[in-house]
Structure 1
Amino acid sequence: MAPERLASGWLGIPASPHPRHEDAGKNLDRVLQAGIGRFTGGISPAAIWMAYVDWIIHLHLSPAKQEELLLDAWNKLGRWNEYGWDLARHAGQAHDTGVRPLPQDKRFIDPTWQQWPFNVAYQGFLMTQQWWHRATTDISGVSRHHEDVVTFGARQLLDMLSPSNFPITNPVVLHETIRSGGLNFWRGAVNAINDWKEEITGKPSEQPYKVGETLAVTPGNVVFRNRLIELIQYTPTTPTVHAVPVLFIPAWIMKYYILDLSPHNSLVRYLVGKGYTVFMISWKNPHANDRDFSMNDYRELGVMAAVNAICSITGAPRVSAVGYCLGGTLLSIAAATMARDGDQRLANMTLFASQVDFKEPGELSLFIDESQVALLESIMWEKGYLDSKQMAGAFHILRSNDLIWSRRLNQYLLGRTETVNDLMAWNTDTTRMPYRMHTEYLRDLFLENKLAEGRYEVSGQPIALTDIRVPIFSVGTLTDHVAPWRSAYKIHLLTDTDVTFLLTSGGHNAGVVSPPGHPNRRYQVGTSAHHAPYIDPEIWHANTPSNEDSWWPEWENWMAARSGDLVMPPRMGKALCDAPGTYVLQS
């Protein structure tokens, strides 16, 4: 008797569950996991638990490491005591014998931290940080991912206990309290209540920046619309323009107008003023009924629909394409597909802070493993999308010192009013991720790295980035926590074409929004021909000359050499409405 029939007849149960029952079981699992996700803020407790178990077991199996940590703790305690006695002997004036904060750590930069007893307090904190970093790293047998998770978690817990976070141990707060007679705490309470009201009501306070009034005001029209995008064509401002039009593909994780902020910060306005015909994709902000939008929908209804519309409107045979962040990843997929299928309408491509290899995606990988993705899938399955607060929360945790504790210090303890700029206003205008697309993105790109390894399929066939033959301009930003510049630099390894790589100061957003005249900006740039030998990113970084000021003119010169002759501006497409359109206003 067949095993299936034996199981069915002898045990009285079907050998395999009915598909409908199986789906019902999976749905029950998803409901449970989504509930856990709501309670934990979208963080998988299983992922955290596995990381800490891996760490603690291997630490217990490493007596030499334990001895090393005990000796280090004893030495640090001795150094701390010596530091304190040294201060006492020199009337509170510390010599250069303490631990220096990391360059990006601005918590103890105020001179008042050098006064006793605050210098003793922050030195003890920095030594404790050093010890915990040693305790959570370089333990034989611990997986790299689990090591990163435990190290990150320890750092987050320590940052909560930093002496800068408490009035009694922060000299800046104490001095402000004395100076203002305690009014800083009153003002801080008002700020906290206003933030609480915004969180409860979901309505942000009035800001001086509004889309269509002070932001995204470069003149233009929506000339094409489908169920996923609006395509904006900007009005020319020069008597002649380059023959090749430019298409911007922003990430749908953000509103497009980061590229068209206030007029003085607008890359779109800058490019239009240099004689380019500029088009912009504005993505729809998906709701629950858009749950089944796929990555391929974003390619077809987004990039390809825009290219078709631009060629039809302008009569141009080719288009320059610019992808930002996830938009650059999508552009790379589209470009490889076009190359595979013999579509030659792409003249060149530019990637702003974009990755095509996700093996080393930076600290975002802390939230990406099988357990974490499964939990996110359940949350998205229940809602039909990944909520914008979920995304914002992850980014805030990654930069907790800047976005959580520093803000808490300034607004709640010092009672200062936050000065909002256009980039900050854009940052609060968040978007959602549809269930199917974000699942495919996390699994196919982050977890399995299919695009870089030639296993990503479009229309049932794999695509290869090495098929791309058009010149590439890739921009990395020095302090990027979303798309680390060394990861973006891998475009050299994965394509077989001329690559110009530019590394600019700043982070993922502020590094890109870098108009001419912006203070304290610098960049490095170099071009690698497709037949040239590979240069390691560290060697490139060390040997490439640095330039002051904005990188925009450098990129525009590169574009000008590849955008054809100057011609009369093409006709504007039929206007469906004025820019910035309707999709960008969706909440």
Structure 2
Amino acid sequence: MVQSGNQNKRETDGGTSLESYTVRDPERFALNLARALEEAGKAAAAWSRPREAGEKPDTMAEPLADMVKTFSKLTEYWMSDPARALEAQTRLFSSYMGIWANSIRRMSGEPAEGEPVEPEAGDKRFQDPDWATHAFFDFLKQAYLVTSRWASDLVENAEGLDEQSRHKARFYVRQVSEALSPTNFIMTNPQLLRETFESDGENLVRGMRMLAEDIAAGKGELRLRQSDYSKFELGRNLATTPGKVVARSDLAEIIQYAPASQTVLRRPLLIVPPWINKFYVLDLNPERSFIRWAVEQGHTVFVVSWVNPDERHGNKGWDEYFREGIEFGLDTIAERTGERQVNVLGYCVGGTLLAASLALMAQETDDRIASATLLTTQVDFTHAGDLKVFADEEQVEAIDRAMKEKGYLEGSRMATAFNMLRARDLIWPYVVNNYLRGRDPLPFDLLYWNADSTRMAAANHSYYLRNCYLENNLAKGRATLCGKRLSLAEVKVPVYNLATIEDHIAPAKSVFTGSRLFGGPVEFVLAGSGHIAGVVNPPGLNKYQHWIGGALGESLEGWLETAQAAAGSWWPHWQAWIEKLDDTRVPARKLDRRKKMLGEAPGEYVRARV
């Protein structure tokens, strides 16, 4: 719109001046729109070029087909009864009319009737004042919120849907609702619209240029930048805890960290991170490094740093990940320290492999693991959360076919799936900031790590999807490892089992349910926040809280009723649990330079990029 004179000075219902919603320099604005379209064309070319050359298959066909199939089931219920469909449509239309009537009243200077529709607690999308003070944007906001909640109600009230289809429908409705939010479009977002007019469209030129760069960086896929990656370098300001790579197999490097105390606990600590991400989430920076903190508490810390697999590792499954990862780490510790018994900590899927390994070692009467710590680890996948949306038979078969071509799954596939679990926080804010506002994201070490994705070896990932998410064989006693059938009831070693209350990847209910499968003592602890922030929570930050000491009964809710809340980090509680098992100290184990070293921490495997 182009305005002039006194009209420019009017305000929008007491909010931003209308001048902010006018084109300042029409000629420059038109020129920038042309430049933005040119950059958008480069983005389109970067996306289409590898597909035309046959280098990039269509990875969206199966998910889109599954979404359409799921919505078809939902639609079938509502459309099968005309009265039911009419009632649902009338309910939505009535809500629209109420919002419209209130908008008319506001524009006439009259007070609105009833309570306005407001975002749920924690929804940060509508913080700009004009979402409340400007009648047009307020109408858009309320209409969007009413529609998205109405769609969610359709899922919840659809009778006869099987639980898996309902779960998928919830997930897909949420994805579509969040994608269609008015905050994601220039003409319906007051902040974007003001910035576009104020800069005469310069933001769109910068944004489309960034979009083209990010699609080119992803070789035909959008590699959404969530951080200023140029500000970080492994070994310089990430993963800086001093240590050496002391052993290397085809699948893993074993890193030993230098001691920081005069004496250390007799039992060394072996950390088994997930291979879905890289280990340095536990060593982000000195202030938030669990590895550095554990070293300072007197642990002789060894870490498994998984290889970023390529076609050479396609046939490496869980047998190899146990033999060449966990068992290789145990052998290395025995050689380097002379100690046979070890405390082992597994994180996420690294903990799932550790649990399976414990069941195998119990059969083999191998007692080298004296205690096991499982961080946000699932062993029973009955309540595994939204990732189960991607793990039905058809989708697993499609993933298997895709992996067979190269021997691995592209890291971007898993990264996208994880981002979709929290699309409102991990996708759309960056789409808006980067490509519509044209701003570089801020440097943030955790998001740098999040974007440093890894590939998945075909045999490994197929085993994981089928035996855990699809068939839940580990919980049912039907999974095998190294040719032996596994029973978690045979695991007698003490287990420290940590869940986080807001976890979208390993839901607390799922982690809790798995606690009852072990045959030995289990210390279940619930931490505040989510899958990463709840784990990487050093005591010095004094953030969140954790719950301890509940009765390990039938439900998480029952456990919480008997648990005690404790302020701050769970780390000191874990340390006390470890020392209660064995607090024997020995002189600090310095890195033995008489033995071969393979390089400085964090090693070479972690540096391989997708």
TM-score, with structure 1 as normaliser: 0.87
Where does residue 570 of structure 2 map in the other structure?
A: 551
Matched residue type, 1:578: E
SS at match of 1:391: helix
Q: Is the contact between residue 357 and residue 452 of structure 1 (CA under 8 Å) also seen in structure 2?
A: yes
Where does residue 454 of structure 2 map in the other structure?
A: 431
Matched residue type, 1:118: F
SS at match of 1:247: strand
Where does residue 421 of structure 1 map in the other structure?
A: 444
Determine if the alignment matches structure 1 residue 156 to structure 2 residue 163.
Answer: no
SS at match of 2:540: coil
Q: In 2 relative to 1, CA 450–566 (structure 1 residues): closer, same or farther, beyond 3 Å?
A: same
Residue number among 240, 265, 268 corresponding to 1:245 in the alignment: 268
Partners of 1:211 and 1:570 lie apart in 2 by 25
Deviation at 1:44, TM superposition (A): 4.4
Matched residue type, 2:606: V
Determine if the alignment matches structure 1 residue 123 to structure 2 residue 142.
Answer: yes
Partners of 2:397 and 2:371 lie apart in 1 by 37
Where does residue 105 of structure 1 map in the other structure?
A: 123
- The number of residues matched between the two structures is 548
Where does residue 382 of structure 1 map in the other structure?
A: 405
Q: Gapped runs of 5+ residues in structure 1?
A: 1-34
Where does residue 306 of structure 2 map in the other structure?
A: 283
Where does residue 52 of structure 1 map in the other structure?
A: 71
Q: Is the contact between residue 46 and residue 371 of structure 1 (CA under 8 Å) also seen in structure 2?
A: no
Deviation at 1:378, TM superposition (A): 0.2
Where does residue 21 of structure 2 map in the other structure?
A: none
Matched residue type, 2:58: F
Matched residue type, 1:110: D
Partners of 1:87 and 1:495 lie apart in 2 by 62
SS at match of 1:223: strand
Residue number among 150, 155, 169 corresponding to 1:136 in the alignment: 155
Partners of 2:140 and 2:409 lie apart in 1 by 42
Matches within 5 A, 1:48-447: 48-62=67-81, 65-88=84-107, 97-115=115-133, 116-177=135-196, 180=199, 182-200=201-219, 207-447=230-470
Partners of 1:52 and 1:276 lie apart in 2 by 52
Deviation at 1:265, TM superposition (A): 1.8
Structure 1 stretch displaced more, 325-334 or 204-213: 204-213
Partners of 1:113 and 1:52 lie apart in 2 by 31
Q: In 2 relative to 1, CA 95–178 (structure 1 residues): closer, same or farther, beyond 3 Å?
A: farther
Deviation at 1:584, TM superposition (A): 1.2
Partners of 2:56 and 2:519 lie apart in 1 by 43
Deviation at 1:88, TM superposition (A): 4.0
Deviation at 1:62, TM superposition (A): 4.6
Partners of 2:116 and 2:146 lie apart in 1 by 9
Instruction: State the Cα deviation string for residues 129-181 of structure 1 (Å, max 9, x = none).
Output: 11111223332222222222233223322322211112222122234345556
Where does residue 494 of structure 1 map in the other structure?
A: 517
Instruction: State the Cα deviation string for residues 418-446 of structure 1 (Å, max 9, x = none).
Output: 11211111112111111111111111111
Q: In 2 relative to 1, CA 382–196 (structure 1 residues): closer, same or farther, beyond 3 Å?
A: closer
Partners of 1:67 and 1:36 lie apart in 2 by 48
Q: Is the contact between residue 229 and residue 443 of structure 2 (CA under 8 Å) also seen in structure 1?
A: no
Instruction: State the Cα deviation string for residues 24-78 of structure 1 (Å, max 9, x = none).
Output: xxxxxxxxxxx99931436345533442333233333355643541342243234
Q: In 2 relative to 1, CA 192–314 (structure 1 residues): closer, same or farther, beyond 3 Å?
A: same
Instruction: State the Cα deviation string for residues 303-329 of structure 1 (Å, max 9, x = none).
Output: 112112212321223111100110000
Structure 1 stretch displaced more, 323-332 or 336-345: 336-345
Q: Is the contact between residue 526 and residue 548 of structure 2 (CA under 8 Å) also seen in structure 1?
A: no
Determine if the alignment matches structure 1 residue 526 to structure 2 residue 544.
Answer: no
Partners of 1:527 and 1:331 lie apart in 2 by 24
Structure 1 stretch displaced more, 271-280 or 463-472: 463-472
Instruction: State the Cα deviation string for residues 389-416 of structure 1 (Å, max 9, x = none).
Output: 1111222233222222111222233333
SS at match of 1:452: helix
Where does residue 24 of structure 1 map in the other structure?
A: none
Instruction: State the Cα deviation string for residues 485-509 of structure 1 (Å, max 9, x = none).
Output: 1111113321233322222233222
Where does residue 464 of structure 1 map in the other structure?
A: 487
Q: In 2 relative to 1, CA 355–206 (structure 1 residues): closer, same or farther, beyond 3 Å?
A: closer
Deviation at 1:355, TM superposition (A): 0.5
Where does residue 581 of structure 1 map in the other structure?
A: 603
Structure 1 stretch displaced more, 392-401 or 544-553: 544-553
Partners of 1:78 and 1:97 lie apart in 2 by 14
Deviation at 1:236, TM superposition (A): 0.5
Q: In 2 relative to 1, CA 312–527 (structure 1 residues): closer, same or farther, beyond 3 Å?
A: farther
TM-score, with structure 2 as normaliser: 0.84
Structure 1 stretch displaced more, 205-214 or 45-54: 45-54
Structure 1 stretch displaced more, 153-162 or 445-454: 153-162
Matched residue type, 2:252: I
